[in-house]
Amino acid sequence: MTERWLSILEEARRELRAAATWYEREQPGLGVRFVDDLEATLLMIETYPMSGESLDGPVRCFPVGTFPYNVYYAIDADRFQVVGIAHVARAPEVITEIKRR
């Protein structure tokens, strides 16, 4: 089995911070729960990388726990790269943005 490392693009980090901040403002503790669910999702991606829904090219997406968010990621020989984190309502827009990155 090939060992891969995980990297998160800065744009995806900004999306993560914005979502966690929004949830925390809506209900104290909810932003923390969002981040916890996201971390569990990243672990799932590392463990079962092909389980995410295949999108265009090498990009896949995986839902974030009970939240209406997806993690968009690409797999290559030695890493998983998170290229986006977005609300499911933004899926078409996010996929278009990812293709430009």
pLDDT digits (tens, 9 = 90+) for 5-49: 888 999 999 999 999 999 999 999 999 999 999 999 999 998 888
What pLDDT shows up at residue 1?
A: 47
Instruction: Name which of 22, 63, 48, 5 is nearest 72 in CA terms.
Output: 63
Q: Across the chain, what does the average pLDDT equal?
A: 89
Phi and psi dihedrals of 16, rounded to 5? -60, -50
Could you give the percent of the chain with pLDDT greater than 70? Answer: 93
**Distance from C-alpha of 8 to C-alpha of 46, rounded to nearest angstrom:** 13
Assess contact for 41 and 52: CB atoms under 8 A.
no
Break the chain into its structural domains and give their ranges. 5-100
The Cα–Cα gap between 54 and 73 comes to 10
Alpha-carbon distance of 20 to 2, in angstroms, equals 32
Domain 5-100 is in which class? alpha beta
